[in-house]
A and B are shown apart, each in its own frame.
Chain A
């Protein structure tokens, strides 16, 4: 099927316009906000950042009679290891995001919005700023959009290096100029978000899907995909495959199809060992579990994992699962904001235990301690970062226990070979 998001020749305004761009905004501005929300609800569009919450429902949580400003925030703090789709979308089709935001702003009654982009994405920030300037010059943003009396100002805000700011309330703290430490909920952002005002936060990919939904209708979008997982998804494939990259496919595509048809299969001589299907925080699947699994919200949940951000990390049998978990534990320990004890201490303990196993000093008891520490982190913190560490830890040990036991028995990985291509 044709791509909705990753299209060619739409990176600049002329091309986007020629492909029918900003028609959806005109259409949406002529609709009552409630009708726009209804259309998005009908589409079944769900949050593409990881949580999969229905977008239309999220918009409808904004209190209708709340006085004062409301805000729309785009989460472009792409940092979940394995994920690199928002970057590609911003470079290839940035007007879809801008148009989607203007439509969402109208739907929730927000006159201003912010795009929070990770600090490392300098080229992408420049691209967004140019795109916004071009859209504003044509009257698609700013005051009195297309003469309809609707205002929507859009600003780009660069982060400064903190994975935790991808969590929506940490992102709001950061956007207000504080350390990115997640807030207790409730109150939820829809009631008290940015600058204590009602706020909707959506991922880049979610917002970029909105123009097509408004133009062609929620029913059209809902017919794509599989069951309650409607529409297309950007899958980011990394690891030892012939063609790693971002692929837009209907939700419900099997891992096998994604690997063989889109990515040209595994590199020569590699055998599939495991797949992390939705970014580093999601539980790992064995090759057997992954092979025919459908990549959508429900099927991956049934398989014991999650669709997450759609970051498919392919792992071959030349990789050591203990080493890979150590890499992840180092990351989560580094990125824990330090606010909640189970996360701050738990991530640190897991890293230490894995360092011990990797260096050949570990014991079988350490393997059980990894599981016990991880289980005591789950669900005991303000935000899901602790779970994001615990889920891979528990699944790696459960599914690849023999590798952990081999380390405990003194059989560690060989030293790393230098990089070769």
Chain B
């Protein structure tokens, strides 16, 4: 058990205790696994299924249904550009084009150095501050090219600043 370690099991018991049925903790447990390894590996799904006493198909169905689960390792920084209606009107397509150009990758790809993954995502729920991009767990709002350059420069130096550019 490379993923469901003793340490993980201790955390898992606490999460399971929040629900009257242990399997209700499936999504929080997958989030915990992803937090540790950056993605949810096939083996991790298998181990988690055995830990919860669930069929593997149930775990796989959940992992593939929800967009926030990565099934392969993502870059150190996962740039997720909202492209829904309000962000679209505020210039999201231009923002995506700039990122493709600056990073040399298309949506769904990771840079060769493993630093950046680029994704186009649907509404992030921050439409009043469009255009918006989420980097890992942080939101960056009211973006334009100058702010984007400053952010990429920061990330290249390993600095992911807190919310509110």
A residues neighboring B (CB under 8 Å): 69, 78-84, 86-87, 118-123, 155, 157-163, 174-180, 195, 236-240, 244-246, 276, 280, 311, 313, 315-316, 319, 323-324, 327-328, 331, 334-335, 337, 416-421
> Once bound together, how far apart are the Cα atoms of A324 and B86, in whole Å?
9
Q: In the complex where A160-B27, A160-B30 touch, is A324 in contact with B144 (Cβ < 8 A)?
A: no
Does B31 interact with chain A (Cβ within 8 Å)?
Answer: yes
Contact present for A420 and B91 (CB under 8 Å): yes
Contact present for B143 and A179 (CB under 8 Å): no
> Once bound together, how far apart are the Cα atoms of A412 and B39, in whole Å?
41
Contact present for A176 and B85 (CB under 8 Å): no
B residues neighboring A (CB under 8 Å): 18-21, 23-28, 30-31, 58, 61-62, 65-69, 83-86, 88-95, 97-98, 122-131, 134, 137, 139, 142-145, 163
Q: Name the residue on B nearest A123 (C-beta).
A: B163
Q: Name the residue on A nearest B20 (C-beta).
A: A195
Q: Name the residue on A nearest B18 (C-beta).
A: A155
> Once bound together, how far apart are the Cα atoms of A85 and B122, in whole Å?
17
Q: In the complex where A160-B68, A161-B67, A238-B128 touch, is A81 in contact with B85 (Cβ < 8 A)?
A: yes
Sample 13 A-B pairs with CB under 8 A, ordered by A number: A78-B125, A82-B86, A82-B127, A83-B123, A84-B125, A84-B128, A119-B31, A119-B66, A120-B68, A161-B66, A179-B65, A276-B85, A418-B97
> Once bound together, how far apart are the Cα atoms of A246 and B94, in whole Å?
26
Residues of B within 8 A of A158 (CB): 27-28, 31
Q: Name the residue on B nearest A155 (C-beta).
A: B18
> Once bound together, how far apart are the Cα atoms of A158 and B97, in whole Å?
31
Q: Name the residue on A nearest B21 (C-beta).
A: A195
Q: Looking at the assembled complex, report how far the CB atom of A189 sits from the nearest CB atom of chain B, in whole angstroms.
A: 16
Residues of B within 8 A of A78 (CB): 125
* Extra inter-chain contacts (17) besides given A240-B89, A419-B145, CB under 8 Å: A78-B125, A79-B125, A84-B126, A84-B128, A120-B68, A122-B137, A123-B139, A161-B68, A174-B27, A175-B24, A177-B21, A177-B23, A177-B25, A238-B128, A337-B65, A417-B91, A418-B145
Q: In the complex where A118-B125, A331-B122 touch, is A178 in contact with B21 (Cβ < 8 A)?
A: no
Contact present for A120 and B86 (CB under 8 Å): no
Contact present for A162 and B24 (CB under 8 Å): no
Residues of A within 8 A of B126 (CB): 84, 87
Residues of A within 8 A of B98 (CB): 418-419
> Once bound together, how far apart are the Cα atoms of A123 and B134, in whole Å?
12
> Once bound together, how far apart are the Cα atoms of A38 and B137, in whole Å?
42
Q: Name the residue on A nearest B29 (C-beta).
A: A177
A82: contacting residue among B85, B95, B144, CB under 8 A: B85
Of B23, B25, B88, the most chain A CB neighbours within 10 A belong to: B88
Q: Looking at the assembled complex, report how far the CB atom of A244 sits from the nearest CB atom of chain B, in whole angstroms.
A: 4
Contact present for B26 and A177 (CB under 8 Å): yes
> Once bound together, how far apart are the Cα atoms of A328 and B85, in whole Å?
7
A236: contacting residue among B128, B131, B144, CB under 8 A: B128
Contact present for B123 and A178 (CB under 8 Å): no
Contact present for A421 and B125 (CB under 8 Å): no
Contact present for A419 and B94 (CB under 8 Å): yes
Q: Looking at the assembled complex, report how far the CB atom of A333 sits from the nearest CB atom of chain B, in whole angstroms.
A: 10
